[in-house]
Amino acid sequence: MKRLYEKLKHYDLEKVLELEKRDRQFIALQKLEKNIKDKELYLAIVIANSIICYQLSWKWEDYWEEFSDYFSDDSINYNDIVFELSKFISQSKNNKRFIDTKIKRLKKLESFLSEFYDKSKFFYDDMTKLRNLLAKTMWQKKDAKTIVFAVKMFGYAARNIYDFSPYPNEISIPIDSRLIALYESYNEDEKLNIDKFYEKLSSDLSISPLHLDAIVWINYDELINNS
């Protein structure tokens, strides 16, 4: 981990935020926000889409750009989020796998969407409570990949509306294939499992796990090719 730390130690929160602004997923959400008048709808549909953002058919960035383009006509109502997202993934070019399972996940989210409306600022001020409610609603662990990823994308989206709030330290990084590959390339301590590895790296850098995710996501090719 020391080698990875040395490559990332120049990052502070200010530099991370500049990096996140260049994330194609962040840019896609900026475009979406400009085209949806109902900001509660905007934030809720971002969370709902995050819950079904796994086993994609192509790159995540391409999928979020497709999602943004599709919903930028501002023609849906808040109560139709589950129906409209179900219709979207049924014809999506980048999210073709396990459609029936993902639609079931969206239906499970309906109670959360009812509770979320008009409370987006409350949840942005305390994203840990957002994570806890999502995990409870979806019957998943608090560190489940789609749960913490939903918090990350909500944070991205909410910055377009509210003053910036940093991601809490207690919310885990969403473990995916890229993070697994970096862990296998940079872990020199057999006692550190992958969760502890990123927890320690986050602590050593004084950057919360969800902000750390942006660093390794955007710099992945360079980091893995020079490991």
Which residues are catalytic, by number? Answer: 145, 176
- Distance (Å) of CA 164 to CA 19, 60, 208, 224: 15, 24, 14, 31
DSSP class of residue 226? T
Task: Name the residue among 168, 139, 176, 136 with its Cα closest to residue 151.
Answer: 168
Q: What's CA 199's distance to the chain center, in Å?
A: 17
Tokens 């979020």 correspond to what residue?
Answer: 64
Structure tokens at 112: 């959360």
Tokens 């809720």 correspond to what residue?
Answer: 44
- Distance (Å) of CA 29 to CA 11, 44, 162, 164, 173: 24, 12, 14, 15, 20
CA–CA dist 118, 96 (Å, integer) = 32
